[in-house]
Amino acid sequence: MTITRRGFLGAALVVAVPAPAQDQQIRTVFVRVDARGRITATVPKPDTGQGVRTMAAVLVAEELAVEVADVTLEQAPGDPATYGPQAVANSTSSRQMAEPLRTAAATARCLLIAAAAARWQVPVEECTARQGRVRHPAHAALPYRSLVPAAAALDPATVAVTLTPPERWRLIGRTRAGRSDARDIVTGRARYGAESAPAGSLVAVVARPPWIGAIPDTVDDSATLAVPGVVAVVRLAAPGAGQGGVAVVADRTATALRGRELLKVAWTGGTPAADSRVWLDALEAALAAVPGDPAVQRVYRLPLLAHAPMEPMNATAHVTATGVKVWAPIQDPGGVRTQLARALALPEAQIDVRPTLAGGGFGRRIETDAVFEAVACSRAAGQPVSVRWTRDDDTRHDSYRPMSVHRLSATLGADGLPVGRAHQVVTWPLSVSPPFASPVVVKASGDHFPYAVPGDVTVTLRPAPLRTGFWRGVYAGQFGYAEECFLSEIAQAGGHDQVEFRRRLLPAGSRLRAVLDAAARSHPDPDGVACHLDYGSAVAVLATVDAAARRVRKVTAAVDVGVPVHPSGVRAQVEGAVLDAVSTVLGAQITVRDGAVVQSSFRDYAWARITDCPAIEVVLVGSDAPIGGLGELAYPPAAAAIASAFAAYGGPVTGMPYGVPVG
Amino acid sequence: MSRYRLHVNGRRRTVDVPGETPLLWALREELGLTGPRYGCGVGACGACVSLIDGAAARPCVRSVEDAAGARITTIEGLHDHPVQRAWLELDVAQCGYCQPGQIMSTVALLAEIPDPDDEQIDRALRDNVCRCGTYPRIRAAVRRAAEIVRGDR
């Protein structure tokens, strides 16, 4: 018997469909229990380090009354019609995954209980599942494996499925289990993109535009093709919003890199004189003047940022007469499948997309450029080809967080609290494609001012002079940063306590006030404070710095995510957001000179090192709110709290990074 | 193309590659030891850190020719090592891509300084980048690994 689930929003509907008689398994889209009692969960979304696989294991273990380690994980291929939304973006994963996975596991549990009740001839209400067994007061407990054949033969439509109520949760929000893939990670066995390529795959590296927008004019590949092991040189058209280039396909990575060095490409077109200082000045020049008191306004200039995941971009593809198979660290397997189907004019059924573990994503792996490159190379070579980006490629050809300028202004009441506010933003869209080219969408993403101060945000979009993309926090990373830094400056100018100032602007009993109070209890007398409310979650961040040493000493973040499914993972996401904030406030930025990105690796893209790491405390604040999002949540306020903390000792925040020229 | 003898994880192996080939690619693509990760290729991130004659080294910027004859230990050469146990206990990893390098750097640190203070930990791991932000847990796990090695608890 096979159970499929239709409809991923609202109430779950479980439908039985015929399955081979010999298939003695309880089988739903997301959960299987086999005749040996082994439980397998199919994780619908890719894990980029944010922990969705562990979350899936916790949810399934909870509902099947086993331990987290008892659940084996499989990764779903790209197929949203079967698995529901699969993109990991915009802090949606926990909210989208929790109900389908719990329902699937609860269905399996209720079938097992029904089978036991039938065997014992007792009412199902008298039976419970615990520790992998079904129990009844009058009978010896039955392990799941002894019940699977009978349970698999039941019609699930005849079984009432009940979710475990929160007061009986053993694992959700409570488990001390670590990350599900941790053992593979610490032994080096974890398989990311390169390790997932089929044996015998060729490797390709790509000569990329030396300045923005350049395209290959003439290519002399004679020296490249003379290198033993080089198989082909492939000219790549610009895939989607990506860039073109010339791929060198070889039997080994070192060979491909050597072949790329010997390639002679004449490039044409593009913007060889582009300069990010000019871009930023042009955005600032587009800000309108604000009438009123110039003392209560501030302009913020924010730089380009790269994603720089530890695993550089890569993808493996095998194009055959019957279709295309892709193995890649990606954030949107369904999107990859749809885009490939459209581009190749193939039915989706002929495109098999296998997301691998991803060595970080942060929004970069929403882009599909590496996949399209691999497909083009495999098509040309007639074999599976794994395209590998070097770190230099990754740093210089990212989909960057857009530059932005912000003019904040406020009118203050007699008590020094703001009674009106205005926020003008001039920036670039995240993508040339709708809906992201719309100021309405940009505003909806960034405009989350949580305090009781009337006012508005106006957004002006200018065409992006290079490829932009989603970056942690999306536009709240810029909007919220500017708004909180400005609020801090007003409070500081008026001699107010930063926490108390914000408390007065937040309704009593609100989630945000609760997290602010919780953070303040753990972190007395902070230098910087900021809050954020988004994705159905609330966070307050407090920071203490050593301004003279330009070091962040301590950061406390109190967070209310409704249901912190995997507590260690929740803390990890917040810790990561704090380190992103440390990095971007202290110095990481991408600059463009003479048409090219200046930075090329972690040597000059100044990401935080362990030496920059503050003490971080994450306080989980309970509430009865539904499960909320988290991945994007804590970055904007963490950056604002840290920058404002430095401003408590030095000049005001005028952009990002703090205290250095931007652009 | 030449033949080089490498001594990796206690075994003698041979590879047929040009001598200037970075050791990282020989480990990964000739010997199938993919625990050392490619992160930058220029010695700037630490994702490939392995031990060469007991010291933390970066195979992406060491040639096969140079490493021939040395004793090389990759993450695959550790077996239930105290550093790995501490990493699991403190649930250090997020994406995990940098962690083999962080762990190997820590193994080298503890071999030299059995009970490092925060400054010594920071100095040893300063050039191991973690993009997910696991540094606070790495610090704690290094201290915990030192405890395990000492036999505490």
pLDDT for res A506: 97
For residue B54, give the nearest of B103, B116, B126, B111 by alpha carbon: B111
Note whether B51 and B87 are same-domain residues: no
Per the listing, tokens 């937040």 go with A506
Residue B153's pLDDT is what? 54
Token digits for A2? 């096979």
CATH of the domain at B91: 1.10.150.120
Is A581 in contact with A519 (CB distance < 8 Å)? no
Distance CA A8, CA A2 (A): 18
The answer on pLDDT for A379 being more than 80 is yes
Same domain? For B139 and B101 the reply is yes
Identify all chain B residues contacting A584, using CB atoms and an 8 Å cutoff. Answer: none
The reply to whether residue B97 touches residue A360, judged by beta carbons under 8 angstroms, is: yes
pLDDT tops 50 at residue A16: no
Of chain A, the percentage scoring pLDDT greater than 90 comes to 91
pLDDT for the residue A7: 35
Scan for tokens 């399209």, then name that residue: A372
Is B96 in the same domain as B129?
Answer: yes
Task: Give me the count of residues in chain A.
Answer: 663
**For position A3, what pLDDT does the model report?**
45
Nearest to A338, CA basis, from A85, A79, A86: A79
Tell me B30's DSSP state.
Answer: I
Instruction: Give the DSSP letter of residue A188.
Output: T
Cα–Cα–Cα angle for A386, B73, B153, rounded to 5 degrees: 115
CA neighbor of A314 nearest in space, from A404, A415, A193, A222: A193
- The reply to whether B37 and B88 lie within a common domain is no
Mark A304-328 as b/e (b = at least 16 C-beta within 10 Å).
bbbbbbbbbbbbbbbbeeebbbbbb
Give kind and range of the element (H or E) at residue B109.
helix B99-112
Listed in sequence order, the residues at least 6 apart from A183 whose beta carbon sits closer than 8 Å to its beta carbon are: A189, B88
Please give the Cα distance from A459 to A443 (Å, whole number): 6
The partner residue sitting opposite A610, judged by closest CB among B28, B87, B139, is: B139
User: Does the beta-carbon distance from B93 to A185 stay under 8 Å?
Assistant: yes
Helix B99-112 to helix B82-89 angle, to the nearest 10 degrees? Answer: 130
pLDDT digits (tens, 9 = 90+) for A617-629: 999 999 999 999 9
pLDDT of the residue at A9: 31
Domain count, chain B: 2
**CATH code (residue B31):** 3.10.20.30
Residue finishing a domain among B27, B57, B75: B75
> Can you tell me the mean pLDDT for A295-315?
96
Per-residue pLDDT at A11 exceeds 60: no
Confidence of residue A4 (pLDDT cuts 50, 70, 90): very low
| A135 membership: H or E segment, kind and range | strand A133-136
Most A CBs within 10 A among B8, B21, B94, B107, hence the mutation to make, goes to B94
- A565 φ, ψ to 5°? -50, -50
Q: Which two tokens stand for residue B57?
A: 């080294």
From A186, A312, A607, residue closest to B99, measured CB to CB: A186
All structural domains of chain A: 2-187 (3.30.365.10), 193-270+313-388 (3.30.365.10), 280-305+398-647 (3.30.365.10)
Q: What is the C-alpha separation between A209 and A206, in angstroms, rounded? A: 10
Q: Do B35 and B20 share a domain, yes or no?
A: yes
Contact A262, A232 (CB under 8 A): no
Beta pairing class for B11-17 and B2-8: antiparallel
Structure tokens at A522: 């753990």
Q: Cβ of A608 and B95 within 8 Å?
A: no
> Which of B75, B94, B120 lies at the terminal end of a domain, its last residue?
B75
Amino acid occupying residue A18? P
Residue B8 and residue B69 in one domain: yes
Sheet containing strand A455-461, edge to edge, reads: A297-302, A404-412, A418-427, A455-461
Q: Which residues of B touch A47 (CB under 8 A)?
A: 95
CB distance B46 to B38 below 8 Å:
no
State the residue for tokens 């967080």.
A401
Percent of chain A clearing pLDDT 70 (strictly above): 96
Q: Among the residues of A174-275, which ranges form H helices?
A: 182-187, 193-196, 222-225, 253-261
Interface test with B, best of A185, A196, A554 (most B CBs within 10 A): A185
Handedness of CA A63, A67, A68, A72 (dihedral sign): negative
Instruction: Select from B74, B96, B134 the Cβ nearest to the Cβ of A181.
Output: B96
**Is the pLDDT reported for residue A240 higher than 90?**
no
Local confidence band at A553 (pLDDT 50, 70, 90 cut-offs): very high
The Cα A565–Cα A560 span in angstroms is: 12
| Same domain, yes or no: B66 and B105 | no
Q: Which residue of A has its CA nearest to B84?
A: A186
Q: Which residue of B has its CA nearest to A251?
A: B29
Cβ–Cβ below 8 Å for A601 and B99:
no
Query: For the stretch A448-467, what's the b/e string if a residue is b when 16 or more beta carbons lie within 10 angstroms of its beta carbon?
Result: bbbbebebebebebeebbbb
Inter-chain CB pairs, A–B, below 8 Å? 180
For residue A239, the model assigns a pLDDT of 57
Mean pLDDT, residues A3-12: 37
Indicate the average pLDDT of chain A.
94
Any idea which of A303-307, A348-352, A453-457, B148-152 has the lowest mean pLDDT? B148-152
CA distance A68 to chain B (A): 14
Same domain, B89 and B120: yes
> Which stretch of DSSP H or E encloses residue B105?
helix B99-112
Does residue B7 sit in the same domain as residue B68?
A: yes
| DSSP helix/strand/coil, A529 | strand
DSSP A233: E
Please state, in angstroms and rounded to a whole number, the distance separating the CA atoms of residues A316 and A324: 10
Q: Which of chain B's residues have a Cβ under 8 Å away from the Cβ of A51?
A: 94
**Residue-number span of the structural domain to which B50 is assigned:** 2-75
Q: Does residue B89 share a domain with residue B143?
A: yes
**Nearest residue in A to B122, CA atom:** A611
Partners of A613 on chain B (C-beta within 8 Å) are 135-136, 139
* Cα angle A663, A431, A249; round to 5: 90
Which residues in B lie closer than 8 A to residue A630 (C-beta atoms)? none
> Locate tokens 């009692």: which residue?
A37
Q: What's the pTM value of the predicted model, to 2 decimals? A: 0.96
Domain's final residue, options B75, B93, B119: B75
DSSP B70-93: SEEE-GGG-SS-HHHHHHHHTT--
Backbone angles phi, psi at A309, to 5 degrees: -60, 150
Contact A188 B76 (CB under 8 A): yes
Whether the CB-CB separation of A303 and A471 falls below 8 Å is answered with no
B65 with B23, same domain?
yes
- With a pLDDT cut of 90, the percent of chain B lying above it is 96
